[in-house]
Amino acid sequence: MSTRPNFRRFSRSAASLVGALLVGAALANCSDDETPVAPTPLVKFRATLVGSEEVPPVVTAATGSSEFTLSRTNDTLFVSITVNGLSNVRFGHFHTGARGANGAVVATLVEPPTLTGPQNGRIGRQFITATNLSGTLAGQPLSALVSQLRAGGIYVNLHTDANAGGELRGQVALVP
C-alpha cells in the first residue's frame, strides 16, 4: 500500500491551513479602529438684497438674495445672486463697510455690459478667487476677503441705470 495519496492530502491540508493563517494575520493587521474623518463642513454666507439698505435708502420694488459658499480648499468663493424685478443692471460688487456706511469696492460680482431690461433669476459671476480681488484687497489671498466676510464687514451692492450708486444692497453674514 502506498503512502503517497495520504501525503498529498496532508500537504494540501497543511498548505490550506498555512494560507488561512496568513490571510488571518494580514486581516488582523488591518486597522478597523481608525475613526473615519468627517469632511469639513462648507462655510456659507448670505445676504438679502433690498433698496432700504442702500445709503441713502432707495425706493424700489426689486429684491434679491445672494449666497456665497467657500470651497473646501479655501481658495474659491462660489457665488449665487438672484434678483427679481431689477432692471438694467450695470454692476454688482462686494464693498467693505458696515451696515449704514458706504465703502470701497473689493471684488466685482456683476460685470458690464449692462444687463438690459428686467432681470428675474440668477445674475453675475459664478465664483471669486484671489485674482478677482481689487481695491484694498488686491494682491491678497482669498482668506483676506473671507476674514472680512466672517466679521460682517462686507456688503453686496447692485448698481442699475436708475440708481448708479446702488439699487439693492445687503450686508453679508455667516450662515450658522
Torsion angle in degrees (nearest 10) through CA of 45, 68, 71, 44 = 20
* Helix or strand holding residue 144 (H, E): helix 142-150
| Residue 126 lies in domain | 43-174
pLDDT at position 171 is 98
31 falls within a domain:
no
How many domains are contained in the chain?
1
65 falls within a domain:
yes
**CATH code: domain of residue 122:** 2.60.40
104 falls within a domain:
yes
Distance between CA atoms of residues 76 and 1, nearest Å: 81
108 falls within a domain:
yes
Distance between CA atoms of residues 92 and 125, nearest Å: 9
35 falls within a domain:
no
159 falls within a domain:
yes
Whether the upstream peptide bond of residue 176 has omega within 30° of 0, thus cis, is: no
pLDDT at position 68 is 97
- Beta carbons within 8 Å of 90's beta carbon, 6+ residues apart: 110, 112, 114, 159, 160, 161, 164
3-state secondary structure of 15: helix
Is-contact 75 142, C-beta < 8 A? yes
13 falls within a domain:
no
pLDDT at position 56 is 96
Mean pLDDT, 10 residues at a time, over the chain (176 residues)?
A: 53 55 52 68 95 97 97 96 96 96 96 88 94 97 97 97 97 96
59 falls within a domain:
yes
